[in-house]
Structure 1
Amino acid sequence: MSAPDGDDAVDAPAVERVTGTGVPVRGNDIDTDQIIPSRFLKVLTFEGLGEFAFFDQRYENTGPDADGGETAESPTDHPFNEEGFQDANVLVVNANFGCGSSREHAPQALQRWGIDAVVGESFAEIFAGNCLALGIPTVTAETEEIEALQDHVETHPDTEITVDVADERVSYADREIDAAVDPAQHQSLVAGEWDTTALLGSNPEQVAETAASLPYTDR
Structure 2
Amino acid sequence: MSTKIIILIIGVLFIIIALITSKKQSSNKLGIPLGILGVLMMIYGSYSSDLVNYNTQIEQVSTGNKLILNGPVNAVKVISPIDKDSVDCRILTMGVYPESNKNDIWVLIRPTDDRYYPQSDHTNTSYKRDGEWQVVTRFGGDLGEAYDLIIYEADAKSSSFFSETIEKWKEADDYPGLKLEELPSGATEVDRIKIYTRKNCRGVF
Higher strand share: 2
> Higher relative CO (CA 8 A, sep ≥ 6), structure 1 or 2?
1
TM-score range, shorter chain: under 0.3
Q: Which structure would you say has the larger Rg?
A: 2
TM-score by length of 1: 0.25
